[in-house]
Structure 1
């Protein structure tokens, strides 16, 4: 499986309103622990050896929080680079042509999402593999879905499944994009055009903590999982 993880933590967290006025979103606590610590637990449990975290907004707080934990930092000192640009900047630290990426603003229950991706990864067929949940089962999510899956697991745009923020991606898909800042959607469109973007469904719970209401929803989901 890929041996490196890109953990996205550079965003401004504007949907969080006053909660991110004095701290970066990854340091918001869910059930007594910072969001980024929940994400790092997943990486440790999946046995991922190399972890890179990108930073930008209130970066000094994240740097202090992560100090001494064996995590490499890719600091975006100028303009924020979005997910695609952030991943490309971090490639020298990741040191791999196939990597996991994980957003730091979600909470999970059930099987480890990174381990699930590793089990399903088939480099002979795939340039990227996205972990999805059904829109009607996605907590903290207000949309109708991002993608559809065919019988073989290939992804197309628009459908009843939501991207969870976890994937495996081959980094050659970043080649030749001129802009410094760009979304991973550019990468996915390339993989869709080649018939090499695939998805699998997460078997447990998932909650988007991108807005204040997601905090209570995530804590309720975790409490329910522990009670069960």
Structure 2
């Protein structure tokens, strides 16, 4: 530890409507800076060995954004690879047995989610997901993703929302025969083996995957437009 960080920045951002016609979703601004920079503030605070972002939709803008920084960009062409495939394709750049993966369309109010996972991770784990109790979720609709047991295991349920942040052993994806696949298929396999670990986040989390999430996130952060 601390290992490496994989930032997911390749999606089309279709829920954002007109806001992503001229830019990828991670570059949509919230509280005066791009969404992906909110993620980078958290990432840099844990001092990872390597940081990799994937890109597909308007990938040139992601490449330009990180030019001259410590972040390496893996451009997925010709096809987008989904979360599992994106992580698998980036493994040569990540150079780590255990990596954080992080979505770039959320804003946090509370302790650093990466540090929280890092403090719980043990060598016998395969994947450790960070989930948010629904009462602490802002801007997200849905029935829920996981139930988290008192002893730190995750099972499909409705009590919490998956935050988009996890620690995962790269063996979980490196041996997968497919090149394009979702991480959910990895979690399903682990859950069936009673090996899916999860913890809950004590702060607030705002989904900014849709236009209405911007104002909600800025209100949560106490951002003043003046």
C-alpha distance 2-45 of structure 1, shift in aligned 2 (>3 A): closer
Offset at 1:17?
0.4
Q: 2:181 maps to which residue?
A: 182
Matches of 2:202 and 2:155 in 1, distance apart?
A: 21
Offset at 1:90?
0.1
Kindly provide the CA deviation profile for residues 17-51 of structure 1, in whole angstroms up to 9, marking residues without a partner as x: 00000100000000000001111110111121310
Aligned runs of 1:140-159 on 2, under 5 Å? 140-159=139-158
Q: 2:63 maps to which residue?
A: 63
Q: Normalised by the size of structure 1, how large is the TM-score?
A: 0.95
Is 1:56–1:77's contact at 8 Å kept on the other side of the alignment? yes
Q: 1:44 maps to which residue?
A: 44
SS in 1 for 2:222: helix
Q: How many residues align?
A: 224
Structure 1 residue ranges (4+ consecutive) displaced by more than 6 angstroms after TM superposition = none
Matches of 2:28 and 2:157 in 1, distance apart?
A: 31
SS in 1 for 2:162: strand
Matches of 2:123 and 2:183 in 1, distance apart?
A: 19
Unaligned segments of structure 2, at least 5 residues = none
Q: 2:205 maps to which residue?
A: 206
Q: 1:167 maps to which residue?
A: 166
SS in 2 for 1:80: coil
Matches of 1:16 and 1:148 in 2, distance apart?
A: 29
SS in 2 for 1:7: strand
Q: 1:138 maps to which residue?
A: 137
Is 1:135–1:144's contact at 8 Å kept on the other side of the alignment? no
Is 1:173–1:190's contact at 8 Å kept on the other side of the alignment? no
Unaligned segments of structure 1, at least 5 residues = none
Matches of 1:65 and 1:74 in 2, distance apart?
A: 13
Matches of 1:177 and 1:3 in 2, distance apart?
A: 21
